[in-house]
Every structure is written in C-alpha cells, then in structure tokens.
A and B are shown apart, each in its own frame.
Chain A
Amino acid sequence: MDDFSYHAPATVAEAAALQAEGGATARFLAGGSDLFLALERADPPVTRVIDLKGIPALAEIAVASDGGVRLGAAVTMAAIERHDHLATRYPALAAAAAAVGGPPIRNRATVGGNVCNASPAADTSPVLLALGAMAVVAGPGGERELPLAGLWRGPGRITLAPGELLCALRLPARPPRSGCGFQRLTRSAMDIAIVNAAAAVTLDGAGRIASAAVALGAVGPTVLAVAGLKEALAGSPPDDETLARVERLAAAAARPIDDHRASAAYRREMAGVMARRAMAEAWQRAQAAPGEAA
C-alpha cells in the first residue's frame, strides 16, 4: 500500500521515462477502465501509475488536409463517437467507439487504451486494422510508426518495450468511392463482443471492388486480418455471391477457442456472418460515397 505511487507528467518524454524507470510494475493510466481491473490481478503488482491525461497532445484529433486523421492515444470513445469528420468519413470507427461499454465508460475509455490492452475482443481494433491504421510510438529513440498489427503479441500482450508509449493512431485518408462497416455479436445488448468484424472497401469507376479488407475480433489470440481477401475479391461486383465468398473466407480465417462465453464452432460461424454484414454495410456506403475526393 505504501509503495503505490501516482504521477501526472506533462510531456510524452517524461511519461516514457517514468515507465522505463518502473518497468513491469509501472503502467500508463488513460481512462482507467482496464487498468483498475488489472490492479488486483497483475503480476508483478502495479506500484506506479502514470497518468497520461495531463498531456494535451495525446488527446487531440487532428484532421489532415487530405482527410486522414491522427488520433491521440488518449482520445476517448465519446470524443470519437461525436466527432463529425470521423462520423462521416470513418463511420465504422464511430460505431465501434459507440459500442464500447456504456456512456460513463465511453467518457473515459480511450482508443489507445483499447488498442494497448490487446484484448482480442476490443471493438476499435478491427476497424483500425481494416482501415490500415499505423501506430505512432514514442520511445527513447524518438517517434516511430509501425503497422497496427505489429503492436499485438497475444491476448493482453503488446510489443512495446519499457519506456515506449503509444502516442497516436494514424488513419490514412479514405480514397474516393470507399466505405467501411462494423458489426458485433453479443449475448445481450450490453456485452463484450463475442465476435466483431470490420470491413473496408473501395470501388473502381465501374462499381467493382478495387480493394477490400476485413478484420475479425474475438476469434483468435489477437485481432486478425483476413489474409488474401483483397486478391480474392478484386474486380468482383458487390453482389450476394461476392458477399457469400467474404463469409466463407472470414469463417475460414477465424481461429476461435471454446470458452464460457461461446463455443469455437459458433464463433467461427458468426465470424463469417458478421464479416459479411460488415462488408455489405461498407459497400453500401462506398456506393453512396463521392466519386472524387471531396
């Protein structure tokens, strides 16, 4: 009890140094909704908490001139849900943020916290992955970027070294004729995802699929991208047969386990259904999207 300390650094460098000093017993605090629950179970016990909310840059949503977005790691789900640009251009992300917990949790839970908690069921993670997000990491050597998937090592485990800090997620601009979708399956209305799926699609001038991505959550040790999807769908018309292929590919890509929430078989089947529905949502939006960059 006596050796538990709280720190509120003003800069990223200070925060990173505090974490490097404390090693495995030092954790970053953003929204706290995951950290608090981890306090009881963490091994080694958490003795140092480093509050990131005093670093303004981490809570910013910056829209680039091309429409791409840099999301500070400490941006809350509520802020994402209500952001006009995100709701218009990245509606799947707004939908995923809107699905996390209930209103008071969304006021605190952050996108960086969600990603770094590395639960395979995290809601924003599949959307970020499908949209090609890059993780911006600050460390002793300065800032670096890596593809988001490189951040996750396994359930609850990330690849950041002591002294490294996720600063932001950078979302590329959406090309013309693009859309994204997000679906999640739960046992009741307020629930962790039993399966979630995000889809992103871009259509060519003839209305056929130019590029596509699907990412699945809660069906593997990390959030999974459905490999080979873009190649499999390139040139396809957005019709039921194509959607059926999406469903099959997603179900095949899933690597679920049985647990007290659901069986592997059900999760596998639902991965296909949710992926199909997310893709249908994505290309409906793509078909309505402007032909040239707005």
Chain B
Amino acid sequence: MKIPLRVTVNGVPREDLVEARTSLLTYLREQCDLTGTKRACEEGECGCCSVLLDGTQVTSCLVFAIEAQGKDVVTVEGLSEPLVLGSLQEAFAENGASQCGFCIPGMLMSATSLLERNGNPSEAEIRRAISGNLCRCTGYDRIVAAIAQAAERRRGAKG
C-alpha cells in the first residue's frame, strides 16, 4: 500500500509515495538518492544508519519512512555545505578519526546531537554519546579526540 509522504530532507521539501513497510533508511538511500546513511545491521545495534528526525538522533533502520510525515530529516549530507567541511568534520579530518569511513556518518550524527546539548563534554560523556556506534577500524580513540577538539574550538569561537 503506497502512502503519500511529505517530508523535508536536508532542508529540501519532498513529496513521495512510499510503501507502508519501507524503512526510513531505505527511503533515504533509494528514493532520495542519499547514500551517505549506511545499512550495516538493520537491528539498531550499530548506529551506522543514524539520522536526525526533527533534531533527534534515531536509527533509521528501525523507523518507518511514513513516520517522518511532516517532519524534518537531516542526514550526513545535510551537516555541511557540499564540498565544504563544517568544524566537526574538520576536527575528524585533522585527528585521523576516519579510517574506512563506514561508521563515520553515524558518528557525526551522535557528535552533532551531543554538542547541541553539551558544549563541554567530558571524555566519559563523549564515549557515552557514541556508545551506540560500533567502529571496527579506529578503536574509537581518535573519534573521541576529534569530538573533544570540535567542542573546544566551538567554545573558543564563541569567545
């Protein structure tokens, strides 16, 4: 059964027809052509499919696309201007926080969520914020460091 879906994705209003059963993850990747959000476990265990739904981080593999009706979705592609890195992404680049890169969109979502609520997170708070994101390459080390550095720079920029 196809249902009309009106949703804003990365600031762009969209109107699509979706199957009731389609997950938000599949909708974003296949109907919106936004492949930055990754499919890795489809059980909500790894965080690779994280997006922001009305500003709240969710694992899009466990959300029906239709639940986004009338809402705002932000994916990794919407975190910065195309081809230009935001301050969080720059911190990731400088710290070597990305190796294969597959977990990174989800990590950026978790970091974005954290820094919106807490501008001065401790190491423990950072680790807790990414506790739902599995990474097999980095040992989390440089990701934690990058988030801490991004937070510090933002505090500095605010003066």
Contact = CB atoms under 8 A, between A and B. Distances in A.
Interface of A: 1-6, 8, 29, 31-33, 36-37, 39, 49, 51, 53, 101-105, 107-108, 189-190
Interface in B68-124: 69, 109-110, 113
Nearest to A98: B128
A49 B3 CA distance: 14
Nearest to B63: A32
Contacts of B133: 102
Given A4-B21, A49-B20, A102-B47, A108 B131 contact: no
Contacts of A39: 21
Contact of A51 (B57, B58, B67): B67
B131 A190 contact: yes
Nearest to B42: A36
Contacts, number: 73
A46 to B, nearest CB: 9
Given A1-B21, A49-B20, A51-B67, A104 B57 contact: yes
B132 A53 contact: no
Interface of B: 1, 3, 19-21, 23, 43-44, 47, 50, 56-59, 61-64, 66-67, 69, 109-110, 113, 128-129, 131-133
Nearest to A53: B67
A105 B132 CA distance: 8
Nearest to B46: A102
13 contacts: A2-B1, A4-B1, A4-B21, A5-B20, A6-B3, A49-B64, A102-B133, A103-B57, A103-B128, A103-B131, A105-B44, A189-B131, A190-B132
A104 B50 contact: yes
B58 A107 contact: yes
A6 to B, nearest CB: 4
B41 to A, nearest CB: 11
B100 to A, nearest CB: 20
Contact of A4 (B20, B50, B113, B128): B20
Contacts of A104: 44, 47, 50, 57-59, 109-110, 132
A37 B56 CA distance: 21
Give the most central of B21, B23, B109: most A CB within 10 Å: B21
A108 B61 CA distance: 12
Contacts of B19: 1, 4
A108 B59 CA distance: 9
Contacts of B43: 37
B132 A32 contact: no
